[in-house]
């Protein structure tokens, strides 16, 4: 197959994907104009999503509250939920600066803020609630992403209550307030920074990558006498080729996108030799296991803290204490809290044998 044939075939697959996508949305069978044998669907395109599946994904809440189901929650209920599910990371009054900058902190909406819809103090930075211009964003984000260690676990009523609690903390609603689908627009109309969102600036102020800060949100497509269509390409400049190691190694093993080989043949050979010798090195095996088990999202291998302590730091506490292996194995599987600070470690999906291997490696000094 010549190069251009390959490209055409690839294009057919991409267009096929788009076509199937839109046909699916309309609930009609997959379009048959593209001969079936031209689309390689194995493992890439599946069946039509069921209405239940679409509903499970379709959870966004928009600025006009489209997508927000009926529900209600009081400040009082929100206070209890906050203490149980949020305070460990964000502080009792949403004022912690440890995991994330304060959500509310000492901010108290003034009468003037509520009247103008512009938070005067924002010129000095601002907490999340000071900057917020759409209440819908709070609903959407909290329901979708929080608590951080158990996203999508909150009911809509829980979410109403938590939004009510944060709004009360910020002095927008009184402490006996009950937030409902019917009065949420009134809260939006009082939101201190509701008029603070601006479109009148570009994403990229610089001249080199950007366009000098000209806003692109109001662009209309040119229909007549247009400049030639720009050719869009991506490439890695030679000097940056090896900045992140071999990108081909980082590509997921499925899907159509293949990573580039960004190291030289000599380096590739060296890496392969290292891999071969690592297969016999027990420490390398544990390190690979930790990398493959998602632990490094929260733990570094050194002694610097990310969300949790670094492995060197943990080893410093337990090195040589063989009697801790069983306890650490359990803590890895079940999670824990209070040993290293207020942020909890959520339970991990990992076999007991693997967790034990990691615990032994920690007690052995977390060697690399």
Distances (CA, A) of 341 to 88, 99, 320: 10, 11, 23
Site for ligand HEC in 150-189 (CB under 6 A): 154, 162
Contact between 77 and ligand HEC by CB under 6 A: the answer reads no
Q: Give the chain's largest Cα–Cα span.
A: 78
For 334, the token pair is 């079940």
Measured CA to CA, the distance from residue 298 to residue 174 in angstroms comes to 38
Q: Nearest CA to 161 among 58, 102, 85?
A: 85
Smallest gap from Cβ 145 to ligand HEC, in A, equals 7
Q: What is the x/- site pattern for ligand HEC, positions 271-300, by CB under 6 A?
A: -------------------x--xxx-xxx-
Distances (CA, A) of 192 to 94, 121, 131, 357: 17, 11, 8, 53
For 333, the token pair is 């599987």
Measured from the CB atom, the residue of 119 and 332 that comes closer to ligand HEC is 332
CA angle 351, 357, 361 (to 5 degrees): 145
Q: Tell me the window of 8-16, 19-27, 179-187, 342-350 that interacts with ligand HEC (CB under 6 A).
A: 342-350
Q: Tell me the window of 23-31, 196-204, 274-282, 326-334 that interacts with ligand HEC (CB under 6 A).
A: 326-334
Q: Tell me the window of 112-120, 207-215, 251-259, 345-353 that interacts with ligand HEC (CB under 6 A).
A: 345-353
Measured from the CB atom, the residue of 20 and 154 that comes closer to ligand HEC is 154
Contact between 85 and ligand HEC by CB under 6 A: the answer reads yes
Contact between 337 and ligand HEC by CB under 6 A: the answer reads yes
Block residue for tokens 């603070």 = 196
Site for ligand HEC in 112-131 (CB under 6 A): 128
Measured CA to CA, the distance from residue 314 to residue 321 in angstroms comes to 12
Smallest gap from Cβ 197 to ligand HEC, in A, equals 14
Contact between 197 and ligand HEC by CB under 6 A: the answer reads no
Q: Work out the number of other CB atoms within 10 angstroms of the CB of residue 59.
A: 13
Q: Are 196 and 86 within 8 A, CB to CB?
A: no
Measured from the CB atom, the residue of 113 and 160 that comes closer to ligand HEC is 160
Measured from the CB atom, the residue of 128 and 262 that comes closer to ligand HEC is 128
Smallest gap from Cβ 4 to ligand HEC, in A, equals 42
Contact between 193 and ligand HEC by CB under 6 A: the answer reads no
Smallest gap from Cβ 255 to ligand HEC, in A, equals 24
Smallest gap from Cβ 62 to ligand HEC, in A, equals 17
Measured from the CB atom, the residue of 187 and 328 that comes closer to ligand HEC is 328
Block residue for tokens 């806003």 = 215
Q: How many residues does the chain have?
A: 368
Contact between 345 and ligand HEC by CB under 6 A: the answer reads yes
Contact between 135 and ligand HEC by CB under 6 A: the answer reads no
Measured CA to CA, the distance from residue 192 to residue 132 in angstroms comes to 8
Q: Residues touching ligand HEC: how many (CB under 6 A)? A: 44
Contact between 339 and ligand HEC by CB under 6 A: the answer reads yes
Q: Nearest CA to 24 among 40, 58, 48?
A: 48
Measured CA to CA, the distance from residue 144 to residue 152 in angstroms comes to 5
Residue 152's region, left for phi above 0, alpha for psi from -120 to 50, else beta, is left
Q: Are 164 and 177 within 8 A, CB to CB?
A: yes
Measured from the CB atom, the residue of 16 and 308 that comes closer to ligand HEC is 308
Residues that bind ligand HEC (CB under 6 A): 85-86, 88-90, 99-100, 103, 128, 138, 141-142, 146-149, 154, 162, 290, 293-295, 297-299, 307-308, 314, 328, 331-332, 336-341, 343, 345-346, 348, 350, 358, 362
């Amino acid at each position: 197959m010549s190069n251009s044939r390959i490209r055409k075939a690839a294009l057919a697959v991409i267009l096929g994907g788009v076509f199937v996508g839109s046909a699916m949305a309309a609930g009609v069978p997959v379009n048959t104009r593209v001969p079936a044998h031209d689309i390689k669907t194995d493992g890439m395109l599946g069946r039509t999503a069921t209405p239940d599946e679409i509903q499970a994904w379709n959870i966004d809440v928009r600025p006009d509250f489209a997508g927000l189901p009926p529900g209600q929650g009081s400040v009082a209920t929100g206070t209890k939920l906050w203490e149980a599910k949020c305070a460990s990371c964000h502080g009792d009054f949403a004022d912690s600066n440890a995991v994330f900058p304060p959500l509310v902190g000492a901010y108290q909406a003034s009468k003037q803020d509520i009247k103008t819809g512009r938070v005067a103090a924002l010129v000095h930075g601002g907490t999340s609630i000071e900057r917020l211009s759409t209440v819908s964003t709070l609903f959407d984000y909290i329901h979708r992403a929080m608590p951080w260690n158990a996203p999508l676990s909150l009911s809509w009523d829980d979410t109403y209550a938590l939004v009510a609690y944060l709004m009360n903390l910020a002095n927008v609603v009184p402490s006996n307030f009950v937030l409902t689908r019917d009065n949420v627009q009134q809260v939006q109309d009082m939101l201190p920074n509701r008029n603070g969102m601006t479109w009148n600036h570009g994403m990229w102020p610089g001249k080199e990558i950007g366009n000098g800060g000209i806003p692109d949100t109001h662009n209309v497509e040119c229909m007549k006498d247009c400049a030639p269509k720009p050719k869009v390409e991506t490439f890695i400049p030679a000097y940056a080729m090896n900045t992140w190691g071999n990108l081909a190694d980082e590509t997921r093993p499925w899907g159509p996108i293949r990573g580039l080989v960004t190291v030289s043949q000599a380096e590739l050979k060296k890496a392969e030799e290292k891999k071969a010798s690592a297969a016999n090195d027990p420490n390398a095996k544990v390190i690979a296991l930790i990398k493959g088990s998602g632990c490094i999202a929260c733990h570094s291998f050194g002694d610097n803290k990310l969300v949790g302590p670094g492995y060197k730091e943990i080893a410093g506490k337990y090195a040589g204490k063989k009697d801790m292996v069983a306890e650490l194995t359990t803590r890895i599987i079940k999670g824990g809290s209070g040993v290293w600070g207020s942020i909890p470690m959520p339970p991990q999906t990992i076999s007991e044998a693997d967790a034990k291997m990691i615990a032994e490696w920690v007690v052995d000094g977390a060697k690399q």
